[in-house]
Chain A
Amino acid sequence: MSSHPGAGHTPAPDPMLLRLFVAGQTTRSLTAVANVQRICAHDLGGRYQLEVIDLYQQPHRAQGEQIIALPALIKRLPPPMRMVIGDMSDTRRVLDILNLPAHTV
């Protein structure tokens, strides 16, 4: 799971694969889901695939995905894999991780 610094300024042709892990219907979970959905719609222009996972429903997935802190957004593809934790209220940070320019916000 090594990161590749300097990799990928150019967006991959494949759609971005995102997973958002939350725990139940808490305010923080709902905020995170809303924030991610907004960023995707606004900045990814449809070229994305977002899976929202409630760990209360699928607790076994926490170990496999190395989840500790919640909410957690994981960018599986394109590499490098990155993770953002929090309610995603800092949109700029999220865009940084997704390797997207912030000026469009």
Chain B
Amino acid sequence: MAQLPKAKTGIQGLDELTGGGLPLGRSTLVCGGAGCGKTLLAMEFLVRGATHYGEPGVFMAFEETGQDLTENVASLGFDLAKLVSQRQLALDYVQVNRSELEQSGEYDLEGLFIRLGHAIDSIGAKRVVLDTLETLFSGLPNSAILRAELRRLFRWLKDKGVTTVITGERGSDPEALTRQGLEEYVSDCVIVLDHRVADMVSSRRLRVVKYRGSTHGTNEYPFLISTDGISLLPVTSLSLEHAVSAERIPSGVAGLDAMLGGEGFFRGSSVLVSGTAGTGKSSLAAQFASAACARGQRVLYFAFEESTSQIVRNMASIGLDLVPAVAQGLLKFHASRPTLTGLEMHLSIMLKEIAAFAPDIMVVDPLNSFVAVGNENDVKMMLLRLVDTLKYQQITGLFTSLTAGGASLEQTDIAISSLIDTWLLVRDLENAGERNRGLYVLKSRGMAHSNQIREFALTNQGIVLRDAYLGGGDVLTGSARVIQESKEESLRLRLTQEASHKQAGLAAKQAAVQAQIEAIRAEFAALETVAQIEIDQALAEARRLAQDRAEMAVRRMEAPL
């Protein structure tokens, strides 16, 4: 089946949700309660059409004057006056004043058709917005005529081939989407907007109720109205297709890298540092950031508990000077109170900062702050989107999370473990009247990692991880470790001395044995000499005897017989 032709809205996220935009050449109803963002969505559809897709548009306003509209949308960065002067946009404010108007006999809406047709033809419009048609019902008498005429209007728009957005306001009837039942006339696509306030936090949602001939996401999707228009939070979590990197990012703490297979985190992975209060989570994050900046990487640091200057001052106390990195533009802080805005706004701000700053690393300190703003599920959804975005862009994310005292350490306030690739746990180790910090790797996907608890010390040269001491099955830290270290040192000294003593004794013994060997060898040499002389004498004697006998024989032969 051929894909239904669609007109891109250019609204962030909406085109993904609808599989390419609104039905081309047809009408879409955008409805919702007062102040839900209908007009802005419709206007953005026109503005993006004109600026991005070369499709001029007509905005017919039934509620706001052109002047008001221009001013209202200027806050979104839309310059309507410029678009109008470039003939990319036509604004028409329809004023129907019931008190100045009387009916005498049958009428029709041909005037509206002519007016709209003239506006469309004058700029060659491909898109039309009618905001909000229902106003006609209060402005004009005889709703029976109006209904018939509206039906004719939608047919006429379809014949014109313009892609139309019609806005409608939700009335008191919870069953109906709009006061006048406009959904009956617009059968191709219906989008419902919602603006609700829960726990004093407002959130906006969008839902595609109906899209004839096209698949579409049916959930409610949060959206935001911010300084550059509407943005539906990206629905990237629908797939798990991001590329992964084998590149490593050092953690900035030598001992920690050693625990993580010797090299650190994977690039593009998400790292969670959790622990109870005061265990050094922020310091770990800052050292990671500082080390990255020292390598020339860019770090975006979202702080939700401390101000920028407070972080800089505090980190100076552990020997981390963040000022140069900030001055070089490698480190960017974004500090705000989490309760200042809703979750979607936070996410949108983060995504915008990410897009603008293009960081290699992003730090969020701490994640928990969001729980104060939204419920657990919302927070999880938001983090899912954030983590997805980071993974897509191969940005390494480091998040800290405060574990409430008494809670299980392996449990975070937000059940986000599944999103996390490397989870570091910092915990208190109480021993011998001291409280020290220990760090271990709870999990680290795709790499060999240490199973040990290391002592985690905040020194004036930054974070240092010390090898853990295992004595009687306990990890020794702090003074206990120092005592253990000195004990071991004296033992080592003693052993060294003993060894050298033994070495000396051995050498003496060797010398003695050597001397004995020499004496025996000399004795043997003397014996050998004597024996050789005797052997020589014996042989000489033997030769002499043989010679004597021969001489004797000769002599006998010579004598007269």
Contact = CB atoms under 8 A, between A and B. Distances in A.
A86 interface: yes
A77 interface: no
Contacts of B104: 84-91, 93-94
Contacts, number: 106
Interface string B296-315: 00000000000000000000
B541 interface: no
Interface string B94-106: 1111011111111
A66 interface: yes
A30 to B, nearest CB: 13
Interface in A28-54: 28, 31-32, 35
Chain B interface category by residue count: 20 to 34
Contacts of A87: 104-107
B125 to A, nearest CB: 14
Given A63-B119, A87-B107, A69 B95 contact: no
Nearest to B149: A69
A6 to B, nearest CB: 13
Contacts of B557: none
A47 B410 CA distance: 93
B118 A62 contact: yes
B471 interface: no
Interface in B111-139: 111-112, 114-115, 117-119, 136, 139
Contacts of A23: 110-111, 114
Given A62-B114, A63-B115, A83-B102, A69 B97 contact: no
A1 to B, nearest CB: 7
B111 A84 contact: no
B413 interface: no
B140 to A, nearest CB: 6
Given A1-B97, A82-B102, A83-B102, A69 B108 contact: yes
Contacts of B117: 59
Contacts of B92: 63
Contacts of A89: 104-106
A62 B92 CA distance: 10
17 contacts: A3-B99, A21-B111, A28-B107, A28-B108, A56-B114, A62-B114, A67-B114, A68-B111, A68-B136, A70-B108, A82-B100, A83-B100, A88-B104, A90-B103, A90-B104, A93-B103, A93-B104
Interface of B: 92, 94-97, 99-112, 114-115, 117-119, 136, 139-140
Closest 5 A/B residue pairs (Cβ): A86-B105, A89-B105, A59-B118, A87-B105, A62-B115
Given A80-B100, A93-B104, 18 more contacts: A3-B100, A59-B114, A59-B118, A62-B111, A62-B114, A68-B111, A69-B109, A69-B140, A70-B110, A71-B107, A84-B101, A85-B101, A86-B107, A87-B105, A91-B104, A93-B102, A94-B104, A96-B102
